[in-house]
Structure 1
């Protein structure tokens, strides 16, 4: 099977291209998660102790 090495090379190149995008996506998701948590805390403080 000669196509195996080509697919492996293609896979490695694809991973190398995708990895920065995944890192950026993960940072973006963490940013959204942090913002949601802060909004949730802020809403709880606004409403007071009565949940």
Structure 2
């Protein structure tokens, strides 16, 4: 994951992480966002099947 977070495409990050804290201030979750510059998609209806 750290390699993906450090990776840049045309100088822009491909993935961003946001760390959340719980109500006691402890680290709770990390949310990862795939940035649009990556051109990655999942569950896209016009996906090519490789035929």
Higher relative contact order (CA 8 A, sep 6+): 2
Max radius of gyration: which structure? 1
Q: Same fold by TM (over 0.5)? A: no
More helix by share: 1
Q: TM-score, normalised by structure 2?
A: 0.24
More strand by share: 2
